[in-house]
């Protein structure tokens, strides 16, 4: 959801002013995170360098305002795969404004240091869009070393690596070596040592749940893009439906002109590794793979074939490099791709990999951080093995070395009906209460004292059911269930409780039950995803 | 900007040792940064010990100061830039120098001297530097802010396909300030997938300059090889076409043609046969013969 | 009677390429009819076309070479080893312009055509050699979609610490050139990588038919028949390269580039010699504006490979001059505990080792080192040390199958 008013933002100075305003307003600071989404409208038709300036300014604003869990993902992403000095420096600084250091951050900082150290350059954070043209200013290496110092003992796992920065021939300047020493000292600081066992290496904050999402029973149909036509690496045409239906698939996105080796080149290389893992398990015929280019106009078949070959990608009928020949926007919408463009050229994109089920629906998505090949294969095998009538899922938290998972719950419409029953016939006094519960004396429920707070709670559950039915109706396009449940709620709350019409309670319950059942039975995706 | 020439006073240390041996790094650096040596001596000395800046921060700062100093002769400043660029190849050793180096390049990218500006912007463009790209684009959009000629700006922007230069390049193709700028704009647009129709049009336009048509052929070859093959074929069959562009088409087909399709194309083969026997340069005839022998003629 | 000649211990025509370093060969009788004794004497000689290559022979791993060799060969089919090498100073011009003939008495009993294939000065190439090289290179690029994209990706800012600023600079680039050359030879086996003598004028190299002429804006122009006109890297067409400071590379040596003689005098120990990474190597790069001027873009220009071929030749010459082929000899390399990864003798070299992440770049384009039908070295995952003994001077098995026209074997 793009809450930020974007219509008025045309120029970079206007953008900077917007960011500053958001950062200064505690009630609107959260909107800064939204501005880091690659597909945000504000980045449309911007060049890459412009996009860097804009994103960097947002990161710096977060550094002043404080990084929330939601924003943390973007900060760590930049450290994980960023190659632009300005952005890496800004991300390193922003990380220090997270409420507390965490040992899980250290590998990201060290990775960033490895990626950027030989491309270090001075950057200026003084004003929007400024570049350092003198020897003052900071640099990504400097900021990263400061972040290591901030991490202190939480970076114990990286101590040897940090110390080795000193030992290497050539190496860092004297100024930066002082920063290295400072970091080493902070890491070794015994006074800050936590309780043993409270700080494992990969206990990432729960805000990083968005790196991986898993939706076993709430998958959108692929109808909008089933007729999308692709051309593969041999120039053969094939539709989405023809290639992706009938078996699970692993899909990655890339483009051949991506100049960040940590993104597309590595993603496609990893796809090749995934293919080998599938082959080793004898599943290469049952699970398809595809790499789809963001840049179909330029990435012609020969180009994508060469790109794949040069990265060891297997290419045949079940494993293809693809470009869309029409329907690229539909594809973008369907996958909610994290990408934006200037004309037809990508200006920035995130890492993204998807698992599609046998119906071509998105079953899982890996975003932003580099995904593990084995994990992707394991997840895809689960999709391969799942039963088609599975309706519930509660994904348990994964092992400690995996990102936190996204829990899903489904709310059955039956609860809503029961809630409406409860509201309609709630005892109006303690004596009636006792009378009701005596019916259940065998269950011992008559021992429960009169609880008037139950009624508003049941009303709330009823309203939740109403909202649930509404959402389901929006998804399936069938709103009749919602209308019935609304009528039922009106009858119970206003006519029965408000005006005292007793018959209205029966009608209300009946309408609620009918509407809920109609909603539950209509369409394929009858369950609601609630965080 | 003044370019004061220092008094020519060849000191003992400024003289190169006899016999071709190299003088010490210290000696070379001493000459390089000394205002008492001649321009020629300083330029030569700077080239002798480029890695000295990696070993001593003092030498690094001395070299950067020479580069920044507008009072120094331009040749010496350019030599300092070259020396630093040379040292930059030794990435690991250069690590401690890079920050100040890039910052200084940005500073002198706005120097009063055009050679200094162009040289610095060239190095920054090779790094895909956002500062350089911004300045180059500004200069194309507003001539008063131009730091280098438009053709050079376009060439430097082409180092990075993401450098949002397509729009301004199209404008320049429409209304070129000079022929060089048009050519560079076309080269830049060769990376723009939507420009394929433009290149088709230019390729087939017999009134266009030879070089423009050649650029168009190679651009189309990158954007849509199938279309280039088709046009190449038609142009080879066209007796009224110019020899040189026909030679380009022949080269494209010989190197990258669909062998199976071309081998069966009798009309094309006959046309090339005529070309090889006609009144054209020996080089083009040789190219035609090479083509024909590839297809067994 | 007939005999079979195996060059580089292979009967495959693709193995019939020799250099100055001796190639192991074998001869055996395949058809003994007419033989009058269990062992026959077969005389092996080389027959050259005019201005073609020439070869010499010896019977053992040591000893002098001669223009012919008499080998006693049993008629029972047992093969007998011998060695052939190009005669120094007589490289081939075309594939197969030297024939090795085997005679029993005056009767020709077997022959194969070979090529003495060595890396030459670009200025010394015939038009035919030039055109074949350029065609192969353009084919490797294949409008940006060919295997050349991997070679471009191997030499970027991201990967630069693997190969620059530390002792592994020379070994890494030697392996890099070898890999590229073998890919070119897979397209046209008669091709060898030429070198650009940057300390001399190069009137033939910088022409429209070869490596192009710089236009007024520093964009390279090619003739209409030159396939390099279709050169594409990073999705961008063309080559940017212009000489700086009014230098004309066709008529002048690279200004301030130190000469070959000066380079060879840098020092007899590797640490001193490796300073050539600055000058002449770095200086040769920075005499130009354009791609070749800096690490991140240098490999986009095909001239880069000819520049580095000369750098490698200078190292080879220094090695020959000072006897620096043995990795065990301290002066042959700069071993230091502080050397970064990829710069120690025992280290495998990226990208051929396929190792990614951590201290290595994130991807390893190109895969393993290309193989050769002529030699087994350096293997798919070469180590730094394997680049030193490229001629097999210390260990014949280390021979990598290339030589320079002006660097002897012994």
The pLDDT value given to residue C338: 85
- pLDDT band at A349; cut points 50, 70, 90: very high
B96 touches chain A (CB under 8 A): yes
The pLDDT value given to residue A230: 96
User: Does the pLDDT at position A219 exceed 90?
Assistant: no
**pLDDT over 90 percentage in chain B:** 54
Strand duo C55-58 + C80-86: pairing: antiparallel
Helix (H, G, I), strand (E, B) or coil at C327: coil
Contacts of C157 in chain A (CB under 8 A): 118-119
Contacts of C165 in chain A (CB under 8 A): 170
pLDDT tens column, C13-26? 999 999 999 999 99
pLDDT tens column, C122-161? 999 999 999 999 999 999 998 888 899 999 999 998 899 9
User: Does the pLDDT at position A416 exceed 90?
Assistant: no
Q: Which of C215, C256, C261 is opposite residue B20, by nearest beta carbon?
A: C261
Strand duo A345-349 + C2-7: pairing: unpaired
Distance to chain A for C148, nearest Cα, Å: 10
Q: How many CB atoms lie within 10 A of CB A431?
A: 10
Contacts of C295 in chain B (CB under 8 A): 88-89, 91
C361 touches chain A (CB under 8 A): yes
Strand duo A249-254 + A352-356: pairing: antiparallel
pLDDT tens column, C360-388? 999 999 889 999 999 999 999 999 999 99
Q: Helix-strand-coil percent breakdown of chain C, rounded to 5?
A: 30, 20, 50
Distance to chain B for A166, nearest Cα, Å: 12
Distance to chain C for A225, nearest Cα, Å: 29
Contact between B254 and B294 (Cβ < 8 Å): yes
Q: How many CB atoms lie within 10 A of CB C52?
A: 19
Report CB contact under 8 Å: A83, C158. yes
**Mean pLDDT computed over every residue of chain C:** 95
**By C-alpha distance, which of B81, B76, B52 is closest to B64?**
B81
Contacts of A347 in chain B (CB under 8 A): 162
Residue in chain C lying closest to B245 (CA): C224
Least-confidence region, from A183-197, B20-34, B233-247, C232-246: A183-197
User: Does the pLDDT at position B7 exceed 50?
Assistant: no
- pLDDT band at B13; cut points 50, 70, 90: very low
Q: Which of A48, A119, A133 is opposite residue B162, by nearest beta carbon?
A: A48
Q: Which of A118, A266, A310 is opposite residue C149, by nearest beta carbon?
A: A310
Mean pLDDT of C34-57: 94
Q: b/e string for A232-268 if b means 16 or more Cβ within 10 A?
A: bbeeeebebbebbbebbbbbbbbbbbbbbbbbbbbbb
The pLDDT value given to residue B2: 41
Report CB contact under 8 Å: B251, C164. no
Helix (H, G, I), strand (E, B) or coil at A249: strand
Distance to chain B for A328, nearest Cα, Å: 15
- pLDDT band at A449; cut points 50, 70, 90: low
Domains of chain C, by residue range, sit at: 2-116, 122-398
pLDDT tens column, B104-140? 999 999 999 999 999 999 999 999 999 999 999 999 9
pLDDT tens column, A327-344? 788 899 999 999 999 988
Q: What is the DSSP string of A218-235?
A: -PPPSGGGTT-EEEETTS
Report CB contact under 8 Å: A49, B223. no
CA dihedral C84, C87, C93, C98 (to 10 degrees): -50
Least-confidence region, from A28-32, A208-212, C9-13: A208-212
Contacts of A176 in chain B (CB under 8 A): 96
Distance to chain C for A71, nearest Cα, Å: 25
The pLDDT value given to residue B67: 97
Q: Is B163 exposed, middle or buried (0-12, 13-18, 19+ CB in 10 A)?
A: buried
Contacts of B191 in chain A (CB under 8 A): 257, 298
Contacts of B49 in chain C (CB under 8 A): 278-279
Collect all residues from A whose CB is shorter than 8 A from any CB in C: 83, 114-115, 118-119, 167-170, 256-257, 259, 261-262, 265-266, 269, 298, 302-303, 305-307, 310-312
Contacts of A305 in chain C (CB under 8 A): 145
Least-confidence region, from A301-315, A420-434, B1-15: B1-15
Residue in chain A lying closest to B167 (CA): A343
Report CB contact under 8 Å: C237, B187. yes
The C residues from 329 to 348 touching A (CB cutoff 8 Å) are: 336, 338-340
Which of C148, C215, C256 has the most B C-beta neighbours within 10 Å, making it the best mutation to test the interface with B? C256
Question: What secondary structure letter does DSSP report for A261?
Answer: I
**Distance of alpha carbon C124 from alpha carbon B164, whole angstroms:** 44
Which other chains touch chain A, taking contact as 3+ CB pairs less than 8 Å apart?
A: B, C
Q: Helix-strand-coil percent breakdown of chain A, rounded to 5?
A: 50, 10, 35
Report CB contact under 8 Å: C219, B284. no
Q: How many CB atoms lie within 10 A of CB B278?
A: 12
CATH number 2.60.40 is the correct assignment for the domain at C2-116: yes
**pLDDT over 90 percentage in chain C:** 91
Report CB contact under 8 Å: C262, B284. no
Q: Is C216 exposed, middle or buried (0-12, 13-18, 19+ CB in 10 A)?
A: exposed
**Distance of alpha carbon A192 from alpha carbon A195, whole angstroms:** 10
Report CB contact under 8 Å: C235, B151. no
Query: Whole-prediction pTM value?
Result: 0.85
Contact between C311 and C276 (Cβ < 8 Å): yes
Residue in chain A lying closest to B192 (CA): A298
Both structure tokens of B217: 């052929």
Residue with the bigger pLDDT between A43 and B222: it is A43
pLDDT tens column, C188-238? 999 999 999 999 999 999 999 999 999 989 999 999 999 999 999 988 889
Q: Which of B50, B190, B287 is opposite residue C237, by nearest beta carbon?
A: B190
Mean pLDDT of B70-91: 95
Rg (CA), chain B: 26
pLDDT tens column, A472-491? 776 566 678 888 888 888 88
Residue in chain C lying closest to A270 (CA): C363
Residue in chain B lying closest to C231 (CA): B218
B67 touches chain C (CB under 8 A): no
Contacts of A343 in chain B (CB under 8 A): 166-167, 192, 194
**Distance of alpha carbon C195 from alpha carbon C305, whole angstroms:** 8
CA–CA distances in Å: residue B210 to residues A518, B203, B204, B287, C375 = 73, 9, 11, 18, 47
B176 touches chain C (CB under 8 A): no
Mean pLDDT of C15-41: 96
Domains of chain B, by residue range, sit at: 26-108, 128-189, 194-297
Q: Which of A53, A137, A176 is opposite residue B130, by nearest beta carbon?
A: A53
Report CB contact under 8 Å: A118, C146. no
Residue with the bigger pLDDT between B194 and C404: it is C404
ipTM of the assembly? 0.89
Mean pLDDT of B34-42: 92
Contacts across the A-C interface (CB distance below 8 Å): 64
The pLDDT value given to residue A429: 57
User: Does the pLDDT at position A471 exceed 50?
Assistant: yes
What CATH architecture does domain C122-398 belong to? Orthogonal Bundle (1.10)
Contacts across the A-B interface (CB distance below 8 Å): 106
The pLDDT value given to residue A502: 66
Contact between C28 and C3 (Cβ < 8 Å): yes
**Distance of alpha carbon A515 from alpha carbon A509, whole angstroms:** 10
The C residues from 231 to 290 touching A (CB cutoff 8 Å) are: 234-235
pLDDT tens column, A365-379? 999 988 999 999 999
Contacts of B98 in chain A (CB under 8 A): 118-121
- pLDDT band at A461; cut points 50, 70, 90: confident
The pLDDT value given to residue C359: 86
């Amino acid at each position: 959801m793009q809450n930020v008013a974007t219509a008025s933002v045309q120029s970079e100075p206007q953008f900077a002013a917007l960011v500053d305003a958001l950062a200064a307003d505690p009630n609107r600071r959260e909107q800064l995170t939204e501005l880091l989404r690659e597909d945000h409208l504000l980045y449309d038709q911007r060049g890459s360098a412009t996009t860097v300036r804009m994103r960097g300014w947002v990161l710096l604003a977060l550094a002043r305002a404080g990084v929330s869990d939601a924003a943390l993902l973007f900060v760590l992403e930049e450290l994980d795969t960023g190659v632009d000095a300005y952005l890496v420096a800004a991300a390193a600084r922003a990380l220090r404004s997270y409420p507390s250091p965490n040992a899980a951050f250290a590998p990201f900082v060290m990775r960033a240091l490895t990626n950027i150290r030989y491309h270090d350059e001075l950057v200026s954070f003084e004003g929007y869009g400024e570049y350092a043209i003198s020897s003052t200013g900071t640099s990504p290496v400097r900021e990263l070393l400061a972040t290591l110092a901030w991490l202190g003992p939480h970076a114990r796992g990286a101590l040897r690596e940090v110390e080795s920065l000193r030992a290497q021939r050539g190496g860092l300047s004297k100024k930066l070596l002082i920063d290295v020493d400072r970091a080493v000292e902070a890491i070794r600081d015994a006074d800050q040592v936590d309780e043993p066992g409270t700080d494992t290496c990969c206990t990432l904050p729960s805000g990083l749940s968005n790196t991986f999402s898993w939706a076993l029973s709430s998958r959108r149909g692929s109808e909008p893009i089933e007729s999308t036509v692709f051309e593969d690496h041999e120039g053969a045409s094939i539709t989405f439906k023809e290639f992706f239906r009938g078996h699970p698939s692993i899909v990655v996105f890339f483009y051949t002109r991506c100049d960040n080796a940590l993104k597309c080149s590595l993603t496609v290389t990893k796809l090749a590794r995934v293919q080998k893992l599938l082959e080793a398990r004898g599943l290469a015929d049952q699970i398809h793979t595809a790499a789809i280019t963001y840049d179909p106009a330029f990435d012609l078949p020969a180009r994508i074939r060469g790109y794949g070959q040069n990265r060891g990608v297997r290419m045949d009928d079940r494993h293809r490099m693809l470009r869309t020949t029409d329907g690229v926007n539909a594809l973008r919408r369907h996958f909610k791709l994290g990408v934006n463009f200037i004309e037809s050229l990508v200006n920035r994109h995130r890492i993204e990999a998807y698992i599609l089920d046998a119906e071509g629906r998105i079953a899982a998505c890996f975003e932003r951080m580099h995904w593990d090949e084995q994990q992707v294969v394991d997840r895809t095998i689960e999709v391969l093995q799942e039963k088609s009538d599975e309706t519930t899922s509660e994904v348990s938290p994964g092992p400690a070395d995996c990102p936190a998972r996204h829990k899903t719950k489904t709310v059955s419409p039956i609860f809503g009906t029961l809630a409406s029953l409860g509201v309609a016939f709630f005892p109006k006094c303690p004596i009636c209460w006792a009378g009701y519960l005596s019916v259940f004396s065998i269950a011992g429920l008559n021992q429960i004292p009169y609880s008037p707070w139950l009624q508003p709670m049941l009303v709330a559950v009823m309203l939740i059911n109403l909202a649930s039915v509404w959402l389901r109706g929006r998804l399936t396009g069938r709103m009749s269930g919602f209308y019935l449940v609304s009528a039922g709620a009106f009858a119970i709350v206003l006519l029965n409780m408000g005006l005292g019409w007793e018959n209205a309670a029966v009608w209300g319950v009946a309408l609620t039950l009918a509407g809920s059942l109609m909603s539950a039975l209509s369409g394929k995706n009858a369950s609601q995803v609630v965080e | 900007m003044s370019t004061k020439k220092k008094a020519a006073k060849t000191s003992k240390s400024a003289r190169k040792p006899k016999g071709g041996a190299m003088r010490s790094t210290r000696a070379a650096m001493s000459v390089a940064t000394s205002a008492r040596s001649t321009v020629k001596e300083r330029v030569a000395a700077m080239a002798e010990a480029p890695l000295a800046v990696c070993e001593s921060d003092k030498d690094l700062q001395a070299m950067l100061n020479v580069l920044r100093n507008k009072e120094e002769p331009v040749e010496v400043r350019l030599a300092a830039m070259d020396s630093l660029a040379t040292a930059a190849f030794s990435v690991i050793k250069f690590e401690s120098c890079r920050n100040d180096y890039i910052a200084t390049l940005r500073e002198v990218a706005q120097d009063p001297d055009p050679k200094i500006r162009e040289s610095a912007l060239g190095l920054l463009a090779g790094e895909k530097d956002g500062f350089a790209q911004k300045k180059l684009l500004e200069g194309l959009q507003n001539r008063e802010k131009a730091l280098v000629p438009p053709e050079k700006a376009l060439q430097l922007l082409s180092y990075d396909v993401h450098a949002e230069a397509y729009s301004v390049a199209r404008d320049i193709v429409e209304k070129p300030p000079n022929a060089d700028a048009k050519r560079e704009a076309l080269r830049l647009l060769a990376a723009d997938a939507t420009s394929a129709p433009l290149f088709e049009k230019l390729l087939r336009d017999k009134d266009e300059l030879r070089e423009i048509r050649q650029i168009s052929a190679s651009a189309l070859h990158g954007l849509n090889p199938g279309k280039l093959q088709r046009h190449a074929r038609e142009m080879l069959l066209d007796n009224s076409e110019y020899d040189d562009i026909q030679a380009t088409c022949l080269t494209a087909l010989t190197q990258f043609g669909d062998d199976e399709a071309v081998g069966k194309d009798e009309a094309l083969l006959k046309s090339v046969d005529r070309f090889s026997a006609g009144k054209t340069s020996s080089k083009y005839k040789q190219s035609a013969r090479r083509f024909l022998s590839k297809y067994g003629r | 009677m007939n005999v079979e000649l195996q060059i580089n211990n292979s009967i495959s025509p693709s193995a019939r390429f020799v250099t100055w370093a001796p190639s192991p060969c074998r001869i055996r009788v395949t058809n003994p009819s007419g033989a009058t004794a269990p062992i026959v004497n077969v005389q092996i000689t080389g027959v050259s076309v005019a201005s073609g290559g020439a070869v010499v022979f010896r019977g053992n791993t040591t000893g002098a070479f001669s223009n012919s060799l008499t080998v006693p060969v049993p008629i029972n089919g047992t093969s007998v080893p011998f060695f052939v090498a190009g005669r120094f100073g007589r490289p081939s011009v075309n594939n197969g312009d030297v024939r090795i003939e085997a005679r029993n008495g005056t009767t020709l009993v077997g022959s194969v055509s070979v090529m003495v294939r060595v890396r030459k000065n670009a200025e010394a190439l015939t038009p035919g050699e030039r055109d074949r090289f350029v065609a192969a290179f353009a084919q490797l690029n294949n409008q940006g979609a060919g295997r050349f994209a991997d070679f471009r990706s191997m030499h970027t800012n991201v990967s630069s610490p693997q190969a620059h600023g530390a002792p592994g600079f020379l070994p890494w680039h030697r392996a890099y050139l070898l890999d590229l050359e073998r890919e070119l030879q897979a397209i046209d086996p008669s091709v060898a990588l030429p070198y650009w003598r940057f300390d001399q004028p190069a009137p033939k190299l910088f022409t429209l038919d070869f490596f192009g002429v710089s236009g007024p804006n520093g964009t390279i122009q090619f003739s209409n028949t030159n396939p390099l006109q279709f050169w594409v890297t990073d999705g961008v067409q063309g080559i940017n390269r212009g000489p700086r400071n009014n230098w004309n590379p066709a008529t002048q040596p690279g200004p301030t580039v130190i000469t070959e003689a000066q380079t060879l005098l840098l020092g007899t120990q590797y640490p001193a010699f490796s300073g050539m990474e600055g000058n002449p190597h770095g200086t040769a790069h920075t005499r130009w504006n354009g791609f070749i001027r800096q690490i991140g873009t240098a490999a986009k220009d095909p001239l880069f490979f000819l520049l580095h071929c000369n750098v490698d030749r200078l190292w080879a010459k220094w090695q020959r001059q000072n006897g620096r082929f043995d990795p065990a000899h301290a002066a042959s390399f700069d071993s230091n505990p502080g050397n970064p990864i990829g710069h120690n003798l025992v280290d495998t070299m990226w990208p051929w080792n396929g190792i990614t992440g951590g201290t290595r770049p994130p991807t390893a384009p190109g895969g393993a080192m290309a193989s050769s039908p002529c030699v087994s070295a350096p293997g798919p995952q070469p180590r730094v040390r394997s680049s030193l003994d490229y001629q097999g001077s210390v260990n014949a098995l280390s021979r990598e199958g290339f030589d320079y026209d002006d660097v002897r074997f012994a």
